[in-house]
Amino acid sequence: MRCKALLVVLSFAFSAISIRTATSTAPAGQVNTVRPSGARAILPGKTPPDHAAYDLFFRQLARLHHKAALLDQQGKDGMTLRSMLAQRVGLDPPQAQILEEVAFSSLEQAMALDQRAREIIRQAHAKHPEGKLNPGEPIPLAPPELRSMQIERDNIFLRARDRLRAELGDWNFETFDRLLKESLVQKAVTIAP
């Protein structure tokens, strides 16, 4: 029952908020592209940092489970969707169960942290209704606690990775980790400035 409730919650919270300060990445004279400072674009052929890879993979897993639950509600078979990612990364059913437990637990923790971050951001925005600053007032910096929360959020996924290594064993984990990252790199796209 807890897993089903979490899936419903996860289905509404797939896009994690960025809690880093935004900075421009475009050279002068080009369209401004904004991305979080310290964030790295995932370029084709480049492996994302582990915390980002596991966050993306776990959210992808949760989306597939949500879609599978919708199919089940329609009287169709959602099992193929549920097992698709686990099979793609070389896991058998007991290992897939471990993956799901670790993934959903990590996402639940990240969602709680994201909710706290949203509240901090809301409070910061409330100081400047409609985003307007007084004349001559400098653009305020992001609340400092967001930086430590981002590190905490990244660590949620790094601990999940370590837990998977411990529960799957080194050899199974290495295969899983390699296939997970290969699947992310294959799906990476370049966004033109």
Is residue 99 helix, strand or coil?
Answer: helix
Q: Name the strand (E) or helix (H) holding 89.
A: none
Residue 36's DSSP bridge partners are: 22
pLDDT in tens, the chain (193 residues): 344 434 333 333 333 333 222 333 333 333 333 333 334 444 556 788 999 999 999 999 999 999 999 999 999 998 988 888 888 888 999 999 999 999 999 999 999 999 999 999 999 999 888 888 889 989 989 999 999 999 999 999 999 999 999 999 999 999 999 988 888 877 765 555 5
E-state strands within 18-171:
22-24, 34-36
Has this prediction a pTM greater than 0.85? no
d(CA 54, CA 50): 6
Q: For residue range 117-173, what is the model confidence (pLDDT) as tens digits?
A: 999 999 999 988 888 888 998 998 999 999 999 999 999 999 999 999 999 999 999
Q: For residue range 130-141, what is the model confidence (pLDDT) as tens digits?
A: 888 889 989 989
> Which of 153, 189, 166 lies closest to 58 in space, CA to CA?
153
